A and B are shown apart, each in its own frame.
Chain A
Amino acid sequence: MATDGLHENETLASLKIEAESLKGKLEEERAKLHDVELHQVAERVEALGQFVMKTRRTLKGHGNKVLCMDWCKDKRRIVSSSQDGKVIVWDSFTTNKEHAVTMPCTWVMACAYAPSGCAIACGGLDNKCSVYPLTFDKNENMAAKKKSVAMHTNYLSACSFTNSDMQILTASGDGTCALWDVESGQLLQSFHGHGADVLCLDLAPSETGNTFVSGGCDKKAMVWDMRSGQCVQAFETHESDINSVRYYPSGDAFASGSDDATCRLYDLRADREVAIYSKESIIFGASSVDFSLSGRLLFAGYNDYTINVWDVLKGARVSILFGHENRVSTLRVSPDGTAFCSGSWDHTLRVWA
């Protein structure tokens, strides 16, 4: 009915006005407590010395773009996945390949190592997340024991085990995140709120809480309560897709890397963005970010084939690392902080230290 349409338009318009006004008030409240900038506080901190990091290992074996990688808790093994469906487990210290499986789909954009080191999870354009137990039995085919855990309605962009092998958290191009029970494949909780594809997630290193942060194509980073499924905090200051989010080691903040060529630091207690890491000469998006163990350094892999190392406190770039011959698609610091590994569209992974 014509009148219904008119009524709906009025309601829509008035809701829009109310939302804008509340968001404005929120910004005001946040601004009131912003009494100092990070780089000002960091003036007292000693500058970092000369930085020398080199490629210490190059892992060759993928026949196509490397899209994702994750470290095992033993600090030396890694799992990596690529565009052609191959998922490989390496002992990156010796550069030996230990396991390999071919997924029935291309663009395996997510992979994760289980905390016990006895299984891996991966997924991509198949819209699923599957778990493969790792076995050294020569007679067993790894693909035979595959367990399909998560089911989304669009591609899987990220996955992570929680504190045990029995739960998996996933992020998908269908705009949602979800928590699954690995044994039964049951959906334990789903997280709705992103207005577009969710591209990344990271679990909080919190002592008591169950929270995680996710970033998406709607330019928002959202913090979720795993138990209730509610979004507890949201940040919207990026100008483009957020490709990667990672918590600061204390759990009080997180960093994000985006297609707008910046990395940003958001503080959870202040409820705002507190730093931007950018330079005019960096024009390509950041695809993945991670902190060093102390949180002083932020490593960011970019689509212009480089890795930039940022001083988190002073906001300056400490170093550029060249070496990859195509986009850096994934980057993780090792569990004990001795090195970090980067994966690239040039088919290789590099361990830097």
Chain B
Amino acid sequence: MAAGGRARAQRPNLDKMERMVVSMQDPDEGVKMRSQRLLITVIPHAVAEALHLGALLVRHGYLYPLRDPRSLALRPDETPYRFQTPYFWASTVWPASELDYAIYLAKRSIQRRGALLDHEKGCAPRIWQEHYDQLQWKISHAWDLVVTQAREQLRAMKQRRRGDRLVITCQEQAYWLVNRPPPGVPNVLEQGPERGSCAASRLQTCKSLDFYKWEIEYARKALGRNRLKSSVCLEAYLKFSSQRGPHDPILSGCLPSNPWVTDDDTYWAVNAPTAATPTRLRVERWGFSFQELLEDPVGRAHFMDFLEKEFSAENLSFWEACEQLRYGGQAQVPALVDAVYQQFLAPGAARWVNIDSRTMERTLAGLCRPHRYVLDDAQLHIYMLMKKDSYPRFLKSDMYKGLLTEATVPVETKRRVFPFMRKPRHCSPSPALPTAGPGGGGED
């Protein structure tokens, strides 16, 4: 069935756990059955991970404790564990049926009233009783069948050896702890909302004409595309990561200190978006790429100053106006396009930008039907102009060099000697609070 199949496909982890459990039981390669001690090695990670994996196997019912099987947890003590029989694997019988659950609860109920000692004396019988009552109500029409089955199964159990009885009871109990977890215990079999129920999925499974036509068209386009050699691309990662490594707080720390570690938010104050004196690392980043410079409000402001000295500040202003158009509200599009035209593109405009004639022609033609991407070509042209021409000059300029030397390097704050004397954590005003000036919320 489609729904069951899809749900099954969502649980490759169960397959993997089952394969793991099977290989653990391999007489040659598997875990030694007699010893219950986990191997202690010098690598702390290995122990922690082994314990974690073991705990997962237990929680999913692939291993169960022989002693006190009230809860499925991996205890690092002498408690013996056994491999669950495949009959009761989470993937074998799924979903667990209400009828089976009713029979199980009926058996336990009968056992408690009977002469048999309940080896789970300490567990909460009330919960089971609640479940039992609810179920009784739910499947009252089948109740006779349930009780008959329960009695029959208990009678059959009496025929078996005591040791076997214990094992089978534990196996069954572990199975139901996984499939009907008591309140407060998370349900390990829960998957979240169903996936693959949409029309697109049904289309995919049908593999229609449209599907193949799309694949063919895509493959043709892709074949025509330029690709770079792997070596070139991978070298780029090395260069990027080594350049950015010192700027990565998790990797290299940050000065004066990481706020999350020391509870001191000076780092944020010093690096505020509109800080008057930027730090050295920050000014260095402006040299990494043009994008990096523009994205930093302080960097962009300095670049604007530089452009003004070169009498080309209208380029940056034009670019900013285009960005506003691209990411602005739909309703503002016609007005924004017109404003940009008047200010930057019209003949004799106050801040006329120098675009090549072909691009200008195309842009002006597009203006009769304005849309948010109508200035894309012009914007790209100006962006490239700044990137290839003004930006490198900015980096070589005295202005930039001056910024680098004036930049601050915060002093490292050592971790407090008495960690319990913590500084109170400051609140910071939310960006959403209305502020006095147009600068927006800032840290203090």
Query: Does chain A have a CB within 8 A of B115?
Result: no
Query: Does chain A have a CB within 8 A of B96?
Result: no
CB-contact partner of B238 in A42, A153, A218, under 8 A: A42
Query: Does chain A have a CB within 8 A of B411?
Result: no
Query: Does chain B have a CB within 8 A of A34?
Result: yes
Tell me if A197 and B218 are in contact (CB < 8 A).
no
User: Chain B residue with minimal CB distance to A194?
Assistant: B200
CB-contact partner of B250 in A11, A53, A166, under 8 A: A53
Tell me if B431 and A116 are in contact (CB < 8 A).
yes
User: Chain A residue with minimal CB distance to B333?
Assistant: A181
Among listed B30-38, B191-199, B360-368, interface-contacting one: B191-199
In the complex, chain A residues 239-281 whose Cβ is within 8 Å of any chain B Cβ: 239-241, 248-250, 252-253, 259-261, 267, 269-272, 274, 281
Tell me if B247 and A293 are in contact (CB < 8 A).
yes
A164 CA / B332 CA spacing, docked (Å): 14
Query: Does chain B have a CB within 8 A of A23?
Result: yes
Query: Does chain A have a CB within 8 A of B241?
Result: yes
A267 CA / B232 CA spacing, docked (Å): 11
Complex contacts, B237 vs chain A, CB 8 Å: 38, 248, 250, 252-253, 295, 312-313
Min distance, Cβ A336 to any Cβ of chain B, angstroms: 7
Min distance, Cβ B61 to any Cβ of chain A, angstroms: 15
Among listed B99-107, B344-352, B422-430, interface-contacting one: B422-430
Min distance, Cβ A114 to any Cβ of chain B, angstroms: 9
Query: Does chain A have a CB within 8 A of B80?
Result: no
A234 CA / B261 CA spacing, docked (Å): 41
Tell me if A135 and B432 are in contact (CB < 8 A).
yes
Complex contacts, B53 vs chain A, CB 8 Å: 281
A240 CA / B13 CA spacing, docked (Å): 11
Tell me if A166 and B238 are in contact (CB < 8 A).
no
B-contact bits for A1-45, CB 8 A (1 contact / 0 none): 000000010011001101100110110011001111110011011
Tell me if B222 and A163 are in contact (CB < 8 A).
no
Which residue, of A75, A233, A241, has the highest number of chain B Cβ atoms within 10 A? A75
User: Chain B residue with minimal CB distance to A338?
Assistant: B249
Query: Does chain B have a CB within 8 A of A326?
Result: yes
Complex contacts, A346 vs chain B, CB 8 Å: 186
Tell me if A249 and B431 are in contact (CB < 8 A).
no
Query: Does chain B have a CB within 8 A of A343?
Result: no
User: Chain B residue with minimal CB distance to A13?
Assistant: B212
Min distance, Cβ A197 to any Cβ of chain B, angstroms: 5
CB-contact partner of B192 in A75, A107, A292, A304, under 8 A: A107
A18 CA / B443 CA spacing, docked (Å): 60
Complex contacts, B248 vs chain A, CB 8 Å: 292-294, 296-297, 337
Tell me if B431 and A94 are in contact (CB < 8 A).
no
Tell me if A231 and B218 are in contact (CB < 8 A).
yes
A154 CA / B201 CA spacing, docked (Å): 12
Given A35-B229, A183-B329, A269-B228, decide whether A312 and B241 contact each other with a Cβ distance below 8 A: yes
Min distance, Cβ A214 to any Cβ of chain B, angstroms: 13
Min distance, Cβ A102 to any Cβ of chain B, angstroms: 19
CB-contact partner of A261 in B12, B196, B197, under 8 A: B12
Complex contacts, A272 vs chain B, CB 8 Å: 230
Min distance, Cβ A331 to any Cβ of chain B, angstroms: 13
Complex contacts, A259 vs chain B, CB 8 Å: 10, 12-13
Complex contacts, A94 vs chain B, CB 8 Å: 425-427
Query: Does chain A have a CB within 8 A of B45?
Result: yes
A-contact bits for B157-187, CB 8 A (1 contact / 0 none): 0000000000000000000000000000010
Min distance, Cβ A178 to any Cβ of chain B, angstroms: 14
B-contact bits for A298-334, CB 8 A (1 contact / 0 none): 0000011110000011000001101001100000010
A240 CA / B191 CA spacing, docked (Å): 15
A-contact bits for B203-221, CB 8 A (1 contact / 0 none): 1100111011111101110
Query: Does chain B have a CB within 8 A of A72?
Result: yes
Among listed B146-154, B251-259, B305-313, B400-408, interface-contacting one: B251-259
Tell me if A76 and B268 are in contact (CB < 8 A).
yes
Query: Does chain A have a CB within 8 A of B328?
Result: yes
Query: Does chain B have a CB within 8 A of A285?
Result: yes
Query: Does chain B have a CB within 8 A of A175?
Result: yes
Min distance, Cβ A306 to any Cβ of chain B, angstroms: 7
A312 CA / B229 CA spacing, docked (Å): 19
Given A11-B209, A91-B428, decide whether A292 and B250 contact each other with a Cβ distance below 8 A: yes
A22 CA / B373 CA spacing, docked (Å): 33
User: Chain A residue with minimal CB distance to B432?
Assistant: A134
B-contact bits for A60-103, CB 8 A (1 contact / 0 none): 00000000000011111100000000000001011010100000
Query: Does chain A have a CB within 8 A of B225?
Result: yes
Complex contacts, A351 vs chain B, CB 8 Å: 260
Given A26-B223, A33-B229, A259-B10, decide whether A294 and B373 contact each other with a Cβ distance below 8 A: no
CB-contact partner of A186 in B240, B291, B330, under 8 A: B330
User: Chain B residue with minimal CB distance to A279?
Assistant: B49
A326 CA / B421 CA spacing, docked (Å): 33
Min distance, Cβ A242 to any Cβ of chain B, angstroms: 11
A2 CA / B428 CA spacing, docked (Å): 73
Query: Does chain A have a CB within 8 A of B383?
Result: yes
A8 CA / B258 CA spacing, docked (Å): 65
Query: Does chain A have a CB within 8 A of B235?
Result: yes
CB-contact partner of A227 in B197, B218, B329, B373, under 8 A: B373
Query: Does chain B have a CB within 8 A of A47?
Result: no
A135 CA / B244 CA spacing, docked (Å): 37
Query: Does chain A have a CB within 8 A of B117?
Result: no
Tell me if B215 and A19 are in contact (CB < 8 A).
yes
Min distance, Cβ A15 to any Cβ of chain B, angstroms: 4
Query: Does chain A have a CB within 8 A of B376?
Result: yes
User: Chain A residue with minimal CB distance to B384?
Assistant: A208
Tell me if A274 and B432 are in contact (CB < 8 A).
no
A42 CA / B271 CA spacing, docked (Å): 32
Min distance, Cβ A131 to any Cβ of chain B, angstroms: 12
Tell me if B211 and A195 are in contact (CB < 8 A).
yes
Tell me if A196 and B196 are in contact (CB < 8 A).
yes
Tell me if B230 and A353 are in contact (CB < 8 A).
no
Complex contacts, A167 vs chain B, CB 8 Å: 327
Tell me if A271 and B222 are in contact (CB < 8 A).
yes
CB-contact partner of B328 in A135, A164, A312, A325, under 8 A: A164
- A196-B196, A207-B289 given. 5 additional CB < 8 A pairs? A77-B430, A173-B195, A195-B211, A306-B52, A313-B241
Interface residues of A (CB under 8 A from B): 8, 11-12, 15-16, 18-19, 22-23, 25-26, 29-30, 33-38, 41-42, 44-45, 48, 53, 56-57, 72-77, 91, 93-94, 96, 98, 107, 109, 116-119, 125, 133-136, 153-155, 162-164, 166-167, 173-176, 181-184, 186, 188, 193-197, 199, 205, 207-208, 210, 217-218, 227, 231, 233-234, 239-241, 248-250, 252-253, 259-261, 267, 269-272, 274, 281, 283-285, 292-297, 303-306, 312-313, 319-320, 322, 325-326, 333, 336-340, 345-346, 351, 353
Q: List 13 A-B contacts (CB under 8 A).
A: A18-B216, A34-B230, A119-B432, A136-B433, A184-B329, A207-B290, A210-B326, A240-B12, A269-B232, A274-B234, A285-B12, A293-B249, A353-B250
